[in-house]
Amino acid sequence: MPDALQALAVSTGVVALAEIGDKTQLLALVLAARWRKPVPIILGILVATVLNHALAGAVGAWLAAAIGPQAMRWILGLSFLAMAAWILVPDEADEEAAAREPRHGVFLATVVTFFLVEMGDKTQIATVALAAKYASLWAVVAGTTLGMMLANVPAVLVGEAAAKSLPLGLVRGVAAAIFAVLGVLVLFGMGG
């Protein structure tokens, strides 16, 4: 599989799984329940995610270029293993950010809220690591953005009832296993 296609597929899958039950998905549920305007909320999530993940991807690509391959292998391998453990920890919605009335409209409120809540989040850190691992920055950013949208659009459209019925422990376990496998493969020099 070509590097760009692999980067797109892995980034999409890992982030889509990692995002289920994450604070930004819970925030999407809160915003949808509060404002009942799915189109500006979905567009706001898209814009915030593209901006946030492009920034994170650029940091990851810079790290890959600035650090030698041997050190990078250890940093990436250990980062993926740390992500595997971190994914198993549930997040809570940032209700304070979601509770404010949108002064400049639902779209802008969603962009700002999502961008800020995503800072330092699992999926942002995963984007940094994936961009450092794969040479195709655009594929990583496109994949992580697609993964975010796959997890958050249904949250906006379907609402909280559907999110409560998902087996979040199993989903987190699968995402953690993927990160753990990536970490081991990278540490043993088999991660591409």
How crowded is residue 80: how many other Cβ atoms within 10 Å of its Cβ? 25
Query: In this predicted model, what pLDDT tens digit does every residue of 155-182 receive, in sequence order?
Result: 888 754 544 555 666 666 776 787 788 7
- Give CA–CA dist 88/96, Å, rounded: 24
CB-CB neighbours of 50 under 10 Å: 17
pTM of structure: 0.72
pLDDT of residue 145: 97
**Rg from Cα positions in the chain:** 16
Per-residue pLDDT, averaged over 82-92, amounts to 70
Look at residue 92 and tell me whether its pLDDT is greater than 70.
no
pLDDT of residue 163: 46
The whole-angstrom separation of Cα 50 and Cα 21 is 20
- Kindly report, residue by residue over 47-83, the tens digit of the pLDDT: 999 999 999 999 988 888 888 777 877 877 887 788 7
pLDDT at res. 50: 97
Residue predicted with more confidence, 85 or 9:
9
Residue 4 pLDDT level (bands cut at 50, 70, 90): very high
Q: Which residues contact 154 (CB under 8 A, 6 or more apart)?
A: 162
| Contact between residue 139 and residue 5 where contact means Cβ atoms under 8 Å apart | yes
With 50 as the cut, is the pLDDT of residue 97 above it?
A: no
pLDDT at residue 35 tops 80: no
| 90's tokens | 């549930």
Of 46, 152, 24, 158, the residue nearest 91 (C-alpha): 24
Span 101-150, pLDDT tens digits? 567 789 998 998 889 888 878 888 889 999 998 989 999 999 999 999 99
CA distances from 70 to 12, 64, 117, 150 (A): 26, 11, 33, 34
Residue 130 is predicted with a pLDDT of: 93
Please check the confidence at residue 14 and state whether its pLDDT lies above 70: yes
Which token pair is 106?
Answer: 């639902």
Q: So what's the pLDDT on residue 24?
A: 81
